[in-house]
Amino acid sequence: MNGNGRRVLLGMSGGVDSSVAAALLQRDGWEVIGVTMKVWPQDCISRAEDKCCGPSAIADARGVAHKLGIPHYVVDEADNFEKIVIDYFASEYRLGRTPNPCVMCNEHLKFGKLRDKAKALGADFIATGHYAIIEHHADHAVLKKGRDARKDQSYFLFSLSQDQLQHALTPLGGMEKSEIREIARGIGLKVADKVDSQEICFVPGNDYKAFLKGHLGEGEFHPGSIYDTQGNFIAKHEGIEMFTIGQRKGLPGGSPKPRYVVDIDPETSSVIVGDEEDLVREEFEVDRVNWLRGEPEGTERISVKIRYAHPGTEASIQALPGHKAKIQLDTPQRAVTPGQAAVFYDGDAVVGGGWIVRQPAPVPA
């Protein structure tokens, strides 16, 4: 989409992706304003050099903005990040679910709070360095997978509203990562070879258990008991917050076969373990569904991703009352995890998505 002098607010993380997005938007005639969100509280333990929420990110983003000759601002979203993302992250584990903080951050901060900033600055659009394609039509937008299958981030954008999508730009969606770095080198950006962060931005070392202990305090955990699928007691545990569906490590030994967490019951603080086949599901339900092209009538064929790294699998979906849906899988899948997003695709197009709800395993009376 050509800018024709229109103003766009670009979220700049200090990495190569958003930096090249700035250059591409500028090339296409947009008046670009760069913004970096400060999302760490003063006592944040994850303010490391490699974090997109750390102080070095601001310096890198500011350097790129200076190189390109665009204005750059820092907005303090630490309080909102704490309430919207970090508290959500912790509360999901306390409910026996596995959270997806990137989806929440995108919906409420990057395409939410920054959209408010954009309006205040007279910008019609928000732009990011996401690897996803947003096609703009007269009265709607279509979200599609990015061209680089290894980097595609459409999964993380499923919860955006049509209004958010219609005012969003993702200039990297049709490009490969190698092209992005080559462009950065060509225009002399110092971040051209900056390593991508592979971790949750606010969790040091990707050790979520240590983070939860520091954030909640061990006294806030929910201890209970571990049972097998027949209801036999196995051992005590220190908190359901320490477990996720499909987990194998950290479970009591003494079994001739490997044990896996197959269910977490937040009401009784019980952890249910079973064999690997107990993890397999043929169907599941989701709630808080966001339909990007309207709720289907009857049963519809889709491909569904049950986690970001999942390749996707063919399924049938049926909308249910109360913003829910039922998914019947053609091929049973392992570790369909409550709290994770299930995103629905028609080819490369995202048609919707929702949050996987718990499907209880047998528990003791």
How does pLDDT run across 65-106, given as a tens digit for each residue? 999 999 999 999 999 999 999 999 999 999 999 999 999 999
* Dist CA 264 CA 335 (whole Å): 12
- Same domain assignment for residues 287 and 342: yes
> Are residues 103 and 158 in contact, defined by beta-carbon separation less than 8 angstroms?
yes
Q: Return mean pLDDT, the chain.
A: 91
For residue 321, give the amino acid letter: P
Question: Is 106 within a domain?
Answer: yes
Overall average pLDDT of the 236-254 stretch: 91
Tell me: do 153 and 104 sit in the same domain.
yes
Same domain, 166 and 304: no
Boundary-marking domain end, from 202, 234, 255: 202
8 Å CB contact between 245 and 219: no
Query: Does pTM surpass 0.85?
Result: yes
Q: What pLDDT does 361 receive? A: 62
Same domain flag for 96 and 18? yes
The mean per-residue pLDDT over the stretch 252-259 comes to 84
Would 1 be classed as within a structural domain?
Answer: no
Q: Find tokens 């981030």 and name the residue.
A: 153
Give the whole-angstrom CA distance, residue 260 versus residue 335.
Answer: 10
User: Domain boundary at 277, 309, 330, which?
Assistant: 277
Is 288 part of a structural domain of the chain? yes
The domain that contains 266 carries what CATH number? 2.30.30.280
Find, among 254, 190, 162, the residue nearest to 16 by Cα: 190
Question: Whole-angstrom Cα distance, residue 51 to residue 259?
Answer: 35
What is the pLDDT, as a whole number, of residue 253? 75
Q: Report if residue 365 sits inside a domain.
A: no
Distance from C-alpha of 267 to C-alpha of 262, rounded to nearest angstrom: 16
Shared domain for 239 and 189, answered yes or no, is no
56 and 139 assigned to the same domain = yes
Counted domains in the chain: 3
Catalytic residue ranges? 105, 201
- For residue 255, the model assigns a pLDDT of 78
Task: Name the percent of the chain lying above pLDDT 90.
Answer: 79
d(CA 344, CA 305): 7
Q: Is 289 in the same domain as 350?
A: yes
Mean pLDDT of 124-129: 95
Q: Lowest-pLDDT range, 10-19, 98-107, 109-118, 213-222?
A: 213-222
Q: Which pLDDT value is given to residue 350?
A: 98
pLDDT per position as a tens digit, 178-198: 999 999 999 999 999 888 876
| Residue 89: CB atoms within 10 Å | 21
pLDDT surpassing 80 at residue 285: yes
In a domain, 212, yes or no: yes
Closest CA to 235 of 95, 243, 276: 243
Identify whether residues 31 and 173 lie together within a single domain.
yes
- The enclosing domain of 127 has a CATH number of 3.40.50.620
Q: HEC profile for 29-86?
A: CCEEEEEEEECCCCCCCCCCCCCCCCHHHHHHHHHHHHHHCCCEEEEECHHHHHHHHH
Residue 45 has pLDDT above 60, yes or no: no
The CATH number given to whatever domain includes residue 346 is: 2.40.30.10
Residues comprising the chain, all counted: 365
Residue-wise pLDDT tens digits, 297-322: 999 999 999 999 999 999 999 999 99
Residue 262 to residue 355: CA distance in whole angstroms: 18
- Range of 352's domain? 279-356
The pLDDT of residue 49: 47
Does 190 share its domain with 77?
A: yes
> Is the pLDDT at 46 greater than 60, yes or no?
no
Confidence of residue 42 (pLDDT cuts 50, 70, 90): low
Q: Is 288 helix (H, G, I), strand (E, B) or coil?
A: strand
- Exposure string of 159-185, with b = 16+ CB inside 10 Å and e = fewer, is bbebebbbbbbbbbbebbbeebbebbe
Q: Please report whether residue 175 resides in a domain.
A: yes
State whether 224 and 183 are in the same domain.
no
* Euclidean distance between CA atoms 320 and 151, whole angstroms: 32
**pLDDT tens track for 148-164:** 999 999 999 999 999 99
Task: For residue 271, list its beta bridge partners.
Answer: 226, 264
The verdict on residue 337 lying in a domain is yes
Cβ atoms of residues 9 and 125 within 8 Å: yes
Report pLDDT for 353: 98
Same domain, 129 and 246: no
Q: Is residue 322 part of a domain?
A: yes
Q: How far apart are CA 278 and CA 261, in angstroms?
A: 9
The predicted structure's pLDDT at residue 363: 47
Residues 238 and 298 in one domain: no
Q: Which of 202, 221, 239 is the last residue of a domain?
A: 202
Q: How far apart are the first and last CA of the chain?
A: 60
3-state secondary structure of 209: helix
